[in-house]
């Protein structure tokens, strides 16, 4: 049997891909290119989702900062009232504290009794 060779020294027939004009390497490159394209597309969509999530988280943090600022202002006002109250007579303050303690005690007692 004689083997037919193409012009570049590769045997023709089943193993000579140069005759078809499409080599195994080109097929592999096309397959890998498509795989890479799919992965890049997935990474792109993932990065877009991450960006959206970061924007949402920043918005929530900003809202929380505003809430904490308002709570801090309210707490500051309450502390000012307590200072004003503490400048008064100590017996009044002690009486208020005792009444508040009794109230809390009865509320806790009532909650335990209902269970």
Q: Whole-angstrom Cα distance, residue 18 to residue 4?
A: 13
Q: Cβ distance 12 to 4 under 8 Å?
A: yes
Give bridge partners of residue 11 from the DSSP assignment: 5
Task: Please give the residue range of the domain that contains residue 32.
Answer: 27-88
Q: Cβ distance 6 to 19 under 8 Å?
A: yes
Query: Looking at residue 80, what is its pLDDT?
Result: 83
The verdict on residue 102 lying in a domain is no
Q: C-alpha distances in angstroms, 92 versus 50, 80, 102, 103?
A: 58, 17, 15, 16
Query: Looking at residue 57, what is its pLDDT?
Result: 95
Q: CA triplet 37, 41, 47: central angle to 5 degrees? A: 145
Per-residue pLDDT of the chain (115 residues; tens, 9 = 90+): 444 555 555 555 555 445 455 688 898 999 999 999 999 999 999 999 999 999 999 999 999 998 888 888 888 888 888 777 667 667 777 788 889 999 999 999 898 888 7
Query: Looking at residue 10, what is its pLDDT?
Result: 52
The verdict on residue 15 lying in a domain is no
The verdict on residue 11 lying in a domain is no
Q: Whole-angstrom Cα distance, residue 7 to residue 24?
A: 18
Domain count, the chain: 1
pTM of the model: 0.45
Query: Looking at residue 73, what is its pLDDT?
Result: 86
The verdict on residue 81 lying in a domain is yes
Query: Looking at residue 52, what is its pLDDT?
Result: 96
The verdict on residue 104 lying in a domain is no
Q: Cβ distance 42 to 50 under 8 Å?
A: no
The verdict on residue 113 lying in a domain is no
The verdict on residue 31 lying in a domain is yes
């Amino acid at each position: 049997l004689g083997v037919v060779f193409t012009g570049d020294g590769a045997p023709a027939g089943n193993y000579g891909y140069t005759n078809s004009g499409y080599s195994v390497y080109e097929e592999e490159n096309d397959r890998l290119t498509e795989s890479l394209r799919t992965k890049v597309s997935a990474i792109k969509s993932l990065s877009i989702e991450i960006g959206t999530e970061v924007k949402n988280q920043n918005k929530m943090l900003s809202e929380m900062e505003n809430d904490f600022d308002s709570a801090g202002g309210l707490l500051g006002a309450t502390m000012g009232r307590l200072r004003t109250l503490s400048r008064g007579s100590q017996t009044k303050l002690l009486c208020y504290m005792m009444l508040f303690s009794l109230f809390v005690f009865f509320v806790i007692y009532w909650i335990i009794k209902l269970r």
